[in-house]
A and B are shown apart, each in its own frame.
Chain A
Amino acid sequence: MSVASHFSYWVTILLMVAGLYIVIARGNLVKKLIGLSIFQTSVYLLYIAPGKLIGGTAPIVSPAFKVYSNPLPHVLILTAIVVGVATLALGLALVVRIHEEYGSIEEDEILAADSAGGDDE
């Protein structure tokens, strides 16, 4: 149970917490999306790392090999990466629209602009 034997988990947790922290702590909308991406990326590692067996090969049955790596996590994460890319693209598109409307991508300036604007229309 040494730190080294769980290396991939430590990296996963570090990325996860760092990403989530950036989302919460930063007011810049683009930086928030960067944090969100890091947070999502940590999940890719959570799935992929345990799928690999040291000395294992691709799961193509052959008498020459005894140990195979699990291919399923790769397939799952391929899907999750697509989801992540779509989320990031949509998020950035929204930030572009917000910048057009408000002239700013800082959270506090946007909130200030809205509360100053009043409730009309």
Chain B
Amino acid sequence: MTFAHLPALEVVVPLIAAPLTVLIRRSTAAWAIAAAACTFSFVAALLLAADVAAHGPISYHIGSWAPPWGIEYRVDALSAFVLVLVSGMATVVVPYAWRSIAAELPRDQVYLYYTMSCLCLAGLLGMTITGDAFNLFVFMEIGSLSSYVLIALGRDRRAQYASYQYLVLGTIGATFYVIGIGILYLATGTLNIADLAQRLQQVENLRPVLAGLAFITVGVSLKLALFPLHLWLPNAYTYAPSAVTAFLAATATKVSVYVLLRFYFTVFGLHLVAERLPMKEILLVLSIIAIVSASLVALYQSDLKRLFAYSSVAQIGYITLGTSLASRDGLIAAVVHLFNHGITKGALFLLLGGVALRAGRAGLDRVRGLGRAMPLTSLGIVIAGLSLIGVPGTAGFVSKWYLVLAAIEAGSWWLAAFVVATSLIAVAYVWRFVEAAYLCEPDARTPEPGEAPLVMLLPAWLLVAACVYFGFDTSYTVEGARRAALLLLGASQ
């Protein structure tokens, strides 16, 4: 009986945990509630994923109202995959936040962090699980509004302004999305995603539908920080508290990518996206510019958080590059990289949070000789950095491998060469850390020898280990992505 309601509980439990933490206000109790809610979501996501793998998609009718009239929650191969990533990252970050947030926030504000992270988790999970286009907008705003607050919790005053910028751009993005949905609703009279996909086939006047497609593309691209709409991201990631950066970098943009995939392949279908509009070409060009420009900008950053924030923009470029190829291997690459980049960036930002705690901030000038002062943290950053580059034996290699395969399959050798060549820029920016940490002598600004607290180091190293593990055992990630890719391509036929 309870299992039947798992799709609803997945979202409802973190949503209810949020006001509970406000009512209780004690930071320890708030932490315990948040930890319980995140763990519950993760276990529920794993159960749902297992159920989907065994019995096919789950359709849950909220309040027993049958779709398309009622709101449907739909778990299929793709959404189950994203649910596991998002709830898993939340569960890893919670124990880390215990020390990290206590060090970065005034005591009386700590519970607010847990309130907002539960709300943010509920929003992101809701976006992923819902089968209703307008419901998706509501969850998008729940997730976004709470992430603006999370970013504004940063100690630096620039966090306030970064959060304000993100609020303005994020709201414009969400409003564009809802305009697009409004146009589709006027054209079809439905909001259910599956129903929408069916009825769009019969629409004769395609002009408003294409306008809707354009609005949704721009809106979602703002949320996922596709070049040139990424300007909110570097400041937001740099000045947010460490735990927030790690969680948002690993999940928020990934869920937006999921929404884009869902609309392009499930709702509109390739015949609209690729044939009536040059969306594939536009995505391809923007992805290439994103990868090159953001990687080059990352090279010249002196703050490590900002460096890896720009690297995130570039890595999102690889995901959209895979999407733009719209083939089986391209989509596998996109979905696998969504997961692999999530755990890699999560690991990096968690480790950098440890550096910031010990050194004041994660600047390149603070990490000289860090290899000796904080050997485990430095080694972790290097391994995660290798995964970012895509060295064989790490998770990043698997995604790059499929991306290269997809490029060759599409007949563009230059694109395969491009993917390999741009990985070299990643080598260069990861090398800047290696050089400072291992080849420079420690100076006055290097922290005293000693690691970050164990509750911070363990979650980070768990993700580092995952980066290596998923580089060797691809049965979960690639198989999950393959099922998701076949689902998307099957739906768009």
- The answer to whether A90 touches B182 (Cβ under 8 A) is no
Answer whether residue B149 sits at the interface, using C-beta atoms and an 8 A cutoff: yes
- The answer to whether A76 touches B134 (Cβ under 8 A) is yes
8 Å CB contact of B303 from A33, A43, A80, A119? A119
Answer whether residue A28 sits at the interface, using C-beta atoms and an 8 A cutoff: no
Task: Report the bound CA distance from A86 to B163 in whole Å.
Answer: 15
- The answer to whether B178 touches A36 (Cβ under 8 A) is no
Shortest CB distance B200–A (Å): 18
- The answer to whether A90 touches B186 (Cβ under 8 A) is no
**Which of B134, B145, B157, B191 has the most C-beta atoms of chain A within 10 angstroms of its own C-beta?**
B157
- The answer to whether A86 touches B145 (Cβ under 8 A) is yes
- The answer to whether A23 touches B149 (Cβ under 8 A) is no
Give the residues in chain B near A86, CB-CB below 8 Å: 141, 145
- The answer to whether A90 touches B145 (Cβ under 8 A) is yes
- A43-B175, A50-B186 given as contacts; is B361 within 8 A of A101 (CB)? no
- The answer to whether B182 touches A40 (Cβ under 8 A) is no
Give the residues in chain B near A50, CB-CB below 8 Å: 186
Which residues between 11 and 64 of chain A lie within 8 Å of chain B, taking CB atoms?
16, 20, 23, 29, 32-33, 36, 39-40, 43, 46-47, 50
By secondary structure, the A interface counts as helix
- The answer to whether A87 touches B161 (Cβ under 8 A) is no
Which residues between 76 and 121 of chain A lie within 8 Å of chain B, taking CB atoms?
76, 79-80, 83, 86-87, 90-91, 94-95, 97-98, 101-102, 110, 114, 119, 121
- The answer to whether A91 touches B303 (Cβ under 8 A) is no
- The answer to whether A101 touches B157 (Cβ under 8 A) is yes
How many interface contacts (CB-CB < 8 Å) are there between A and B? 75
- A94-B148, A119-B302 given as contacts; is B178 within 8 A of A43 (CB)? yes
By secondary structure, the B interface counts as helix
Which residues between 312 and 341 of chain B lie within 8 Å of chain A, taking CB atoms?
none
One digit per residue, 1 when the CB lies within 8 angstroms of any chain A CB and 0 when it does not, for chain B 156-168 equals 1110110110011
| Closest residue on chain B to residue A80 by CB atoms | B178
- The answer to whether B160 touches A98 (Cβ under 8 A) is yes
- The answer to whether A87 touches B138 (Cβ under 8 A) is no
| Closest residue on chain A to residue B140 by CB atoms | A83
- The answer to whether A110 touches B161 (Cβ under 8 A) is yes
Task: Report the bound CA distance from A87 to B175 in whole Å.
Answer: 11
- The answer to whether A32 touches B138 (Cβ under 8 A) is no
Give the residues in chain B near A20, CB-CB below 8 Å: 172
Answer whether residue B188 sits at the interface, using C-beta atoms and an 8 A cutoff: no
**Which of A32, A36, A87, A97 has the most C-beta atoms of chain B within 10 angstroms of its own C-beta?**
A87
Give the residues in chain B near A110, CB-CB below 8 Å: 161
- The answer to whether B168 touches A39 (Cβ under 8 A) is no
8 Å CB contact of A90 from B138, B149, B360? B149
| Closest residue on chain A to residue B235 by CB atoms | A114
Give the residues in chain B near A91, CB-CB below 8 Å: 164, 167-168, 171
Could you name 20 residue pairs across A and B whose Cβ atoms are closer than 8 Å? Answer: A23-B172, A32-B168, A40-B175, A43-B175, A43-B182, A73-B185, A76-B134, A80-B178, A86-B141, A87-B167, A90-B148, A90-B149, A90-B167, A91-B164, A91-B171, A94-B167, A95-B164, A98-B160, A114-B158, A114-B161
